[in-house]
Amino acid sequence: MTAETVLQPSPSPLIRKAAVLGAGTMGARIAAHLANADLDVVLLDLPSLAPKALEALKKSKPAAFFDSSLAARITPGNFDDDLALVEGCDWIVEAVTEDLAIKRSLLEKIAPHVNPGAILTTNTSGLPAASIAANLPVALRRRWFGTHFFNPPRYMRLVEIIPTPESDPAAVAAIAEFADRRLGKEVVFARDTPNFIANRIGVFIMLETIRLMQEEDLTIEEVDALTGTAIGWPRTGTFRLADLVGIDVLAHVTANFARLRAAAAGEISVPPFIQTMIDRRWLGDKTGQGFYKKEKDAAGKEVRLALDWKTLEYHPGAKPNLPLLEMANNAERLGERLRLLLSGDVKRDKAARFHCRLLAALWNYAAGVLPEIADDAASIDRAMRAGFNWEMGPFEMWDAAGVQPMPFVDVISWYRDHGRECFDPTAGTYRPVTRPEGIARVATFRASNGVVRENPGASLVDLGDGVACLELHSKKNAIGEDIVRLLTETLRTDSEAVRNFEAFVISGDTDQFSVGANLMQLLLAVQEDEWDEVDRMARDFQAMTWAIKFCPRPVVAAPFGFCLGGGAEISLAAVRRQASAEVYMGLVETGVGLLPGGGGCKEMTLQSAGDDHALRRNFETIAMAKVSTSALEARRLGFLAQGDRITMNRERLVVDAKHFARSIADAGYAPPLPRTDIPAPGESALATLKLGVYLIREGEYISEHDAKVANRVAHVMCGGAVTPGTLVSEQYLLDLEREAFLSLAGEPKTQERIAFTLKTGKPLRN
Ligand code: NAD
């Protein structure tokens, strides 16, 4: 076979059924995520292991399945009796122990059962993908490459795809497309080099961090504080994360790398104190101790002890005293924090010296390995963001810190033209950053099309093709006056935006769609006894959801992450929803002693029209402040309707929502008319719901105040104690909501709850 025939693409295969070989940590969870993507999955391991893994998977935390019913999509089996099950599969993922001989012999065993046309990939963390398949027939090697998932595969967004020189580009493209659209992953193409991209940089920086800690004489707690959110890395910091992942896993990846890279020995090795920890099985959370350990103090309270790396003894964790870091942490943007940290006095301040040395090492290493491991700097940045949850990748941090890429004197930054071009050090020029069609954030459109209007809480951004986005961007997207004003004014029947655009999307670029109404603004007004102000706030909020619902143009909400309280009410008011698969949606107002007063109770009542079972379900959803753990569950809880859509890849959400809104406009949109003919469930339904509340109160499952709040919810949802079937209007239901909301806001226990939640972020059960 010539190179030409090898590279000749074959028709793109369909993926309907998959097999995962190996039901360990990764294999089982990959299988679960394939089931989330609506595939039937065969899960094989040594005898008796796969059924056990499937049972454990159902209970795994964080949940591996979008909904527990999806476990039924997985058929467990073993490598001795069930190889025939592989025959019907279009994609087979190998995820057995990281051992070349084990992987090779298993592949030889299954090879006769692989369908012609089926694609075979490995989840190896760092073994050369090509060498694993060296003994397979050529036809299979064409359909062989690496698909490297990160743990846990449902939540970690990165999949590295590692083609070998023999891989058929069509097979690679089919899996890349599937991983992107159906599994919702950030796909990064990597070269077949040890540890690929993210682990290569990640392990280097971890070992460098430890080396610098020792040289600068810093403690474990200090380093965790220095390597957390301050520099845009996960809040766990380096060592808390290592405890979570497992210190043996780190050592394993390191050893793997050192073995494959004998020539570069010295680049990477595990320091002796960590080797001692491994020998003593201090491997982190899974063995009960690692860099930290939990213990009960004299009063029986659990305290976290930190390891002293010099003596290998544990001591009570102390809050590090790092003034420069504290100052930097007050800055909202990462670029500002980095610039502050790098401006420290390196002669006197060891923390400043640590950051300067760490970032210089990161940047030099990333630039040094770039030509060997990745197609471009942007691939490395995306891999570190999606694989290690960094806020920015190394080259983006480099630009944000305002440091010139040293070796290239006339080049002032890695990216230019709003990230559309990226510097290629090998060619000495900028090249376009290519992304698959349909991947874009609101920021992409901000940069290309500009902003129509904005205030500190929200913006109206032109998405092109006659669609505009109402982008939420207040702190945690709490809904305060800014957002309420911009949304209401934009979507009003006679607004300029309604004249100029044919459809709208409500979304954003932050991690959370919205944590709900701005409770601080509410609490201040309540405490000042400004009841007219509270009433005005409630009316304004209702006017906003009214404007969304009855806008002459279709409004599609695109919720993602937490979508709580008022955020869920915005979503419910839209004509349709394009939800991220990872949406945690709930009307959680009862948790702070209130009820949904912005149309949430009304929408959930309308949605259950004439169906007692649905009414009870929706009442419980609100009264118990239930929050979905996925979009699939949001549908079951009544937050998403049948005609709503789900996007697996968060990076596609805005464009998907735009196309959805556009298609509704194209079909000839006529907005709904406010209803005046809603048959109220009335007094009999109210009596049933109240009896339920009474019984759980008697069983002491809820507090007196919970019962009071739940009864108010029941009252609103039933349209009050009216004769069943009495026709009421939407406005009437909103008036009931607002009255109940105001009355509950006046309750001291509600105010205590609000104050507590604002302070701690947690609910108070009083
Ligand atoms: P694991 O040890 O949890 O599971 C490995 C599975 O392989 C086990 O269920 C075991 O029964 C099976 N196995 C062992 N010997 C076998 C044999 N001779 N024949 C057939 N099956 C055998 O390992 P894991 O963490 O799930 O890792 C699996 C693969 O995924 C490895 O290649 C690893 O490098 C890679 N990976 C792991 C992670 C991670 O964080 N754990 C992340 C990315 C990739």
- Cα–ligand 1 centroid distance for 271 (angstroms): 26
Q: Is the CB of 25 under 6 A from ligand 1?
A: yes
Q: Mean per-residue pLDDT for 681-703?
A: 95
Residue that is last in its domain, among 406, 432, 458: 432
Shortest-distance atom of ligand 1 to CA 99: 32
Atom of ligand 1 nearest to the CA of 151: 40
Does residue 123 have its Cβ closer than 6 Å to ligand 1? yes
Judge if 355 and 446 occupy the same domain: no
Whether residue 44 has its Cβ less than 6 Å from ligand 1: no
Q: What is the pLDDT of residue 267?
A: 57
The chain-wide mean pLDDT, for the chain, equals 93
> Which of ligand 1's atoms lies nearest the C-alpha of 26?
26
pLDDT at 201 over 90: yes
Closest residue by CA, ligand 1 atom 15: 97
Pairing of strands 516-517, 478-479: parallel
Instruction: List the domain range (segments joined by +) for residue 461.
Output: 442-588+627-666
95: CA distance to ligand 1 center in Å? 5
Percent of the chain at pLDDT > 70 equals 97
Q: Is the CB of 160 under 6 A from ligand 1?
A: no
Q: Considering the domain boundaries, does residue 765 fall inside one?
A: no
* Both structure tokens of 425: 């050090």
Residue 134 has pLDDT above 90, yes or no: yes
Nearest atom within ligand 1 for CA of residue 45: 21
Tell me, in angstroms, the distance from the centre of ligand 1 to residue 217's CA: 37
The rounded Å distance from CA 381 to ligand 1 centre is 27
Domain membership of residue 575 (yes or no) is yes
The rounded distance, in Å, linking the Cα atoms of 253 and 201 is 12
Domain for residue 99, yes or no?
A: yes
Q: What is the pLDDT, as a whole number, of residue 12?
A: 56
**725 and 750 fall within a common domain:** yes
CA 99 to ligand 1 center in whole angstroms: 9
Ligand 1 geometric centre to CA of 622 (Å)? 43
Q: Are residues 368 and 412 in the same domain?
A: yes
Nearest residue by C-alpha to atom 36 in ligand 1: 125
Could you give the CA distance from residue 400 to residue 358 in angstroms, rounded to a whole number? 16
106 in contact with ligand 1, CB cutoff 6 A: yes
SS (H, E, C) 638-700: CCCCCCCEEECCHHHHHHHHHHHHHHHHHCCCCCCCCCCCEECCHHHHHHHHHHHHHHHHHCC
Per-residue pLDDT, 264 = 53
Q: How many whole angstroms from 27 Cα to the centroid of ligand 1?
A: 7
pLDDT of residue 268: 65
The rounded distance, in Å, linking the Cα atoms of 683 and 680 is 9
- Are 653 and 558 a contacting pair, CB within 8 Å? yes
Position 299 scores a pLDDT of 85
| Encoded amino acid at 276, one letter | T
Q: In this structure, are 631 and 692 located in the same domain?
A: no
Q: Are 456 and 418 within one domain?
A: no
Task: Return the best residue to mutate from 20, 21, 25, 286 for the ligand 1 pocket (most ligand atoms within 8 A of CB).
Answer: 25
Q: Whose CA is nearest to atom 18 of ligand 1?
A: 102
**Residue 282 burial (CB < 10 Å; 0-12/13-18/19+)?**
buried
Compute the distance between CA of residue 670 and CA of residue 723 in angstroms, rounded to an integer. 33
Residue 228, in any domain of the structure: yes
Check whether 115 has a pLDDT greater than 80: yes
User: Could you tell me the pLDDT band of residue 563, with boundaries at 50, 70 and 90?
Assistant: very high
Mean pLDDT value of segment 19-24? 98
Is-contact 175 18, C-beta < 8 A? no
**Residue pointed to by tokens 């909400």:** 557
CATH number of residue 408's parent domain: 1.10.1040.50
Task: Specify the ligand 1 atom closest to the Cα of 126.
Answer: 34
Cα angle vertex 578, ends 576, 579, to 5°?
120
**How far is ligand 1, taken at its centre, from the CA of residue 60, in Å?**
17
Q: Is the pLDDT of residue 7 over 50?
A: no
- Main-chain phi, psi angles of 244, to 5 degrees: -70, -45
Q: Is the pLDDT of residue 277 over 90?
A: yes
How far, in Å, from the CA of 270 to the mean position of ligand 1? 22
| 295 shares its domain with 425 | yes
Average pLDDT of span 619-646: 96
Do 450 and 413 belong to one domain? no
Q: What percent of the chain has pLDDT over 90?
A: 86
- Buried residues in 490-517 as b, exposed as e (16+ CB within 10 A): bbbeebebbeebbbbbbbbbbebbbbbb
Q: How many CB atoms lie within 10 A of CB 481?
A: 16
Query: Using 50, 70 and 90 to split pLDDT, how confident is the model at 3?
Result: very low
Within 8 A by CB and 6+ apart from 734, the residues are: 542, 546, 599, 602
Q: Which of 96, 99, 151, 188 to mutate to test the pocket of ligand 1 (most atoms within 8 A of CB)?
A: 96
Tokens of 196: 């690929």
For residue 115, the CA-to-ligand 1 centroid distance in Å is 24
| Cβ of 27 below 6 Å from ligand 1 | yes
Three-class secondary structure assignment of 231-281: HCCCCCHHHHHHHHHCHHHHHHHHHHHHHHCHHHCCCCCCCHHHHHHHHCC
How far away, in angstroms, is 26 Cα from ligand 1 center? 7
The answer, yes or no, to whether any atom of ligand 1 lies below 6 A from the CB of 26, is: yes
pLDDT (tens digit per residue) in 63-77: 999 999 999 999 999
Peptide bond into 62 cis (omega under 30): yes
593 part of a folded domain = no
Please indicate, yes or no, whether residues 284 and 392 belong to a single structural domain of this protein. Answer: yes
Burial of residue 217 (CB within 10 Å: 0-12, 13-18, 19+) is: exposed
Q: Tell me: do 368 and 495 sit in the same domain.
A: no
CB-ligand 1 contact for 387 (6 Å cutoff)? no
**CATH number of domain containing 89:** 3.40.50.720
Centre of ligand 1 from the C-alpha of residue 593, in Å: 48
Residue 642 CB-density burial (10 A; 0-12 exposed, 13-18 middle, 19+ buried): exposed
CA of 12 to the centre of ligand 1 (A): 29
Q: Using a 6 Å cutoff on CB, does residue 153 contact ligand 1? A: no
- In short, whether 96's Cβ falls inside 6 Å of ligand 1 is yes
Q: How far is the CA of 661 from the centre of ligand 1 (A)?
A: 44
Residue 266: its pLDDT value, please?
A: 52
Q: Is the CB of 102 under 6 A from ligand 1?
A: yes
Q: Is 623 in the pocket of ligand 1 (CB under 6 A)?
A: no
596 is a domain residue? no
Please name the residue whose Cα sits nearest to atom 3 of ligand 1. 24
Name the pTM for this structure.
Answer: 0.93
231 vs 316, more confident:
231
* Closest C-alpha among 555, 592, 363 to residue 469: 555
Residue 673 lies in a domain: no
399 with 451, same domain: the answer is no
- Out of 617, 646, 666, pick the residue that ends a domain: 666
**Protein residue with least CA distance to atom 9, ligand 1:** 24
* Overall domain count for the chain: 4
CB pairs under 8 A, 24+ apart, for 329-336?
Answer: 329/229, 329/230, 333/400, 334/231, 334/232, 334/391, 334/392, 334/397, 334/400, 335/400, 335/401, 335/402
Please tell me the distance between residue 45's alpha carbon and the centre of ligand 1 in angstroms: 10
pLDDT, position 252? 81
Domain endpoint, select from 134, 167, 189: 189
User: What average pLDDT does range 470-486 have in this prediction?
Assistant: 96
pLDDT at 165: 97
Do 645 and 534 share a structural domain? yes
Which of 730, 502, 706, 678 minimizes the C-alpha distance to 594?
706
pLDDT at 24: 96
Which tokens hold the place of 191? 């070269």
pLDDT level of residue 250 (50, 70, 90 thresholds): confident
Give residues with Cβ within 8 angstroms of 117, minimum separation 6: 10, 13, 90, 143
pLDDT band at 514 (very low <50, low <70, confident <90, very high): very high
How do beta strands 186-189 and 158-163 pair? parallel
Instruction: Give the CATH number for residue 659.
Output: 3.90.226.10
Contact 590, 604 (CB under 8 A): no
Q: Does residue 375 line the site of ligand 1, with CB under 6 A?
A: no
Mean pLDDT along residues 109-128: 94
Whether the CB of 20 sits within 6 Å of ligand 1 = no
In a domain, 424, yes or no: yes
Rounded-to-10 torsion of CA 661, 662, 665, 671: 10
Distance (Å) from CA 108 to ligand 1 centroid: 17
Cβ atoms 373, 196 nearer than 8 A: yes
Look at residue 539 in the predicted model and tell me its pLDDT: 98
Check if 664 has its Cβ closer than 6 Å to any atom of ligand 1. Answer: no
Same domain flag for 210 and 171? no
**Which residues are bridge partners to 145 per DSSP?**
121, 163
Distance 97 CA to ligand 1 centre (A): 3
Burial (CB < 10 A; 0-12, 13-18, 19+), residue 455, is: middle
